[in-house]
């Protein structure tokens, strides 16, 4: 199904949806554009790629797994334990193709023969993505090098492309078609061609894709070469900006909080660049330095994950980790350094 919607109508469509459902959309606040829960009255900001990916929709930064309440009744002490499975539908409006596609990296991990993560699966199955294709790829963008493109609809339900006066909308899934049935969407007319031209132009702007196919093996070759990793991680400050911003990073931490008579089991994003990620109870840390940790992050995305999951690179090429890195660490450069590494000995 192909439709058209004016910019004003899209804002209204989003606002109406937000009145009924949990809508996540890029909103400008405090000088920055982030995905946040849309409240009727807020405006979508499509002028910039949101700093934080729409990962929150399917894998929120916080998730209460269960709540425990203690109390006393006539009959004695009681302990009530409630599992908090996510409920309700979520709609993401204005994700970019990289962000929408990035969440697919989760599936081989959270839905296997052995393990099915009920929290993740519920969210995934109840979330729709209305994605906006990119027309101004940036210096940090490299989706084309990891098997995608600026108009990739994979993982999305609807793909929007900016055209004169509004957006050309194409439904990718049946649920997407239901969304486009809304009266605010108009006939697409000839805008399909205009959109196609825009998409092609955007792809051309990105230039030659880099070939990462040798990365998996080359990174493994460098596994024990800590000198290489120290040099690569010199400027890394070991924070978590890259992982938290990343649409494909799926690591979590589970912690129990308790205060007085209430306790809670919380799942929150974890960050492999942090010292505590692998800190063992004994005090030993197998990834004690930032070099170890950067090696793991890059290795995981470009080598270990692809090895396990049909050569799929666990990176969607959105470039957030490059753009937002306070020290300017460029994951592309690190992988390329491993690919191009020449043993001088």
Partner 1 sequence: MSQLEELKAAIRGHLDSLDCVIGWEQGYDPLHATPLFIRNESDLERLSISPLAVHNPATYATGFAGKKIGMVVRGCHSRSIIELLNEKLIERENVVLFGLCCDGVVSQRKIRTALPADPGFVEAVEIGDDALHITLAGEKTTIKLQDVLADKCRICAYPDPLLADVLIGNKHDSRPEETLACQEAFEAKPNAEKFTFWQDTMSRCIRCYACRNVCPMCVCQDYCIAASRDPLWMSQENSPAENFMFQMIHVSHLTGRCTECGECERACPVDIPLMLLRRYMNKQVQEVFGHQAGTSLDKTPPLLTFQVEEARIKERDW
Partner 2 sequence: MRIGVFICHCGSNIAGTVDCESVAELASGFPEVVYSTDSMYTCSEPGQEGIITAIHEQKLDGVVVASCTPRMHEPTFRRAVERAGLNRYMFEMANIREHVSWIGKDKEHNTNKAADLVLMAVEKLRRNRPLVPKSFETIKRVLVIGGGVAGIQAALDCADGGLDVVMVERDQSIGGKMAKLDKTFPTIDCSSCVLGPKMVDIAQHEKITLHTCAEIEAVSGYVGNFSVTIRRRATYVDWTKCTGCGVCTEKCPSKRSPDVFNEFMGTTTAINIPFPQAIPKKAAINPATCTMIQKGKCGVCAKVCPVGCIDYEQQDELINVDVGAIVVATGYDLFDWHKYPQYGEGRYPDVITSLQYERLLSASGPTGGHIKRPSDGKEPKNVVFIQCVGSRDRSVDRPYCSGFCCMYTAKQAILTKDHIPDSQSYVFYMDIRAPGKGYDEFTRRAMEEYGAQYVRGRVAMIYPHGEQLMVRGADTLAGTQVEVPADLVVLATGVEAAQGAVKLGETLRVVPDQYGFFVESHPKLKPVETNTAGVYLAGACQGPKDIPTSVGQGSAAAAKALGLLSKERLESDPAVSKVNLSRCVGCQKCIGTCPFGAIKAITDRQGKLKAEVIETVCQGCGICTVTCPQGAIQLEHFTDNQILAEVNALCPPKMNASFE
Partner 3 sequence: MPAQDERELRIVGFLCNWCSYGGADTAGVARFTQPTDLRIIRVPCSGRIDPLFVVRALLNGADGVLVSGCHPRDCHYAEGNFYARRRLEMLKRFLPITGIDERRFEYTWVSASEGQRWQHVVTEFTRRIHELGPAQSFNPATQEEWFNLALNEASKGEACACHGS
Choose between 1 and 51: whose C-beta lies nearer to partner 2.
Answer: 51
Which listed option, partner 2, partner 3, partner 1, none, makes contact with residue 42 (CB within 5 to 8 Å by class)?
A: partner 3
What phi, psi does 83 have (nearest 5°)? -80, 140
Q: Which of partner 2, partner 1, partner 3, none sits in contact with 77, Cβ below 5 to 8 A by type?
A: partner 2
Q: In which residue are the tokens 């946040």 written?
A: 36
Q: Taking CB under 8 A as the rule, does residue 36 contact partner 3?
A: yes
Contacts with partner 1 by CB under 8 A lie at 29-32, 34, 36, 47-49, 51-52, 61-62, 136-140, 205, 231, 234-235, 237-241, 243-245, 253, 255, 257, 266, 268-269, 271, 274-276, 322-324, 326-330
CA distances from 137 to 178, 191, 322 (A): 30, 21, 14
- Using the rule CB under 8 A, is 76 a contact of partner 3? no
Q: Is 328 left (phi over 0), alpha (psi -120 to 50) or beta?
A: left
41's contact among partner 2, partner 1, partner 3, none, with CB below 5 to 8 A by partner kind, is partner 3
- The partner in contact with residue 98, picked from partner 3, partner 1, partner 2, none with C-beta cut-offs of 5 to 8 angstroms by kind, is none
- CA–CA gap between residue 17 and residue 15 (Å, rounded): 5
Is residue 39 a contact point for partner 3 (CB under 8 A)? yes
Angle at which helices 331-339 and 290-299 cross, to 10°: 80
Q: Is 37 in the site for partner 3 (CB under 8 A)?
A: yes
Q: How far is the CB of 292 from partner 2 (least distance, A)?
A: 17
Binding site for partner 2 (CB under 8 A): 36-37, 60-62, 64, 67, 70-72, 76-78, 82, 84, 257-264, 283
Residue given tokens 């050569």 in the structure block: 311
Shortest distance (Å) from residue 335 CB to partner 1: 14
Among partner 2, partner 3, partner 1, none, residue 262 binds (CB under 5-8 Å by kind): partner 2
Neighbours of 294 (CB within 10 A): 24
Tokens 């109840």 found at: 126
CA atoms in the 13 A half-sphere facing the CB of 307: 13
**Residue 29 makes contact with partner 3 by CB under 8 A:** yes
Cβ closer to partner 2: 111 or 258? 258
Q: Which does 72 bind (CB under 5 to 8 A by kind): partner 2, partner 1, partner 3, none?
A: partner 2
Helix axes 290-299, 226-233, angle to 10 degrees: 100
Q: Supply the minimum distance, in Å, between the C-beta of residue 29 and partner 3.
A: 6
Cβ-based neighbours of 61, under 8 Å, separated by 6 or more? 244, 268, 269
139 makes contact, choosing from partner 3, partner 1, partner 2, none, with CB < 5 to 8 Å by partner type, with partner 1
Given the rule CB under 8 A, which residues bind partner 3?
29-32, 36-37, 39, 41-42, 259
């Amino acid at each position: 199904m192909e439709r058209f919607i004016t910019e004003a109508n899209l804002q209204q469509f989003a606002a109406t949806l937000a009145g009924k459902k949990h809508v996540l959309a890029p909103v400008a606040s405090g000088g920055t554009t982030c995905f946040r829960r849309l409240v009727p009255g807020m405006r979508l900001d499509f002028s910039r790629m949101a700093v934080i990916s729409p990962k929150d929709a399917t894998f929120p930064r916080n998730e209460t797994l269960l709540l425990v309440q203690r109390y006393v009744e006539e009959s004695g002490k009681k302990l009530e334990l409630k599992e908090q499975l996510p409920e309700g539908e979520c709609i993401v409006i204005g994700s970019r193709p990289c962000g929408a596609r990035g969440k697919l990296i989760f599936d081989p991990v959270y839905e296997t023969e052995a393990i099915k993560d009920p929290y993740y699966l519920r969210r995934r199955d109840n979330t729709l993505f209305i994605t906006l294709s990119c027309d101004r790829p940036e210096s940090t963008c490299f989706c084309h090098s990891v098997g995608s493109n600026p108009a990739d609809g994979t993982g999305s339900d609807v793909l929007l492309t900016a055209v004169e006066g509004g957006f050309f909308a194409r439904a990718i899934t049946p649920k997407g078609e239901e969304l486009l049935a809304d009266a605010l969407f108009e006939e697409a007319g000839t805008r399909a061609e205009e959109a196609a031209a825009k998409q092609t132009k955007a792809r051309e702007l990105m230039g030659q894709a880099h070939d990462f196919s040798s990365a998996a093996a080359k990174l493994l070759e460098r596994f024990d070469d800590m000198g290489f990793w120290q040099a690569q991680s010199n400027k890394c400050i070991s924070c978590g900006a890259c992982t938290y911003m990343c649409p494909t990073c799926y690591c979590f931490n589970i912690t129990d909080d308790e205060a007085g008579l209430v306790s809670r089991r919380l799942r929150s994003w974890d960050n492999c660049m942090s010292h505590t990620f692998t800190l063992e109870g004994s005090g030993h840390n197998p990834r004690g330095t930032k070099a170890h940790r950067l090696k793991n992050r890059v290795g995981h995305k470009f080598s270990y994950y692809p090895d396990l999951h049909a050569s799929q690179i666990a990176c969607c090429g959105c470039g957030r980790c490059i753009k937002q890195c306070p020290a300017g660490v460029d994951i592309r450069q690190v992988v390329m350094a491993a690919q191009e590494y020449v043993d001088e000995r």
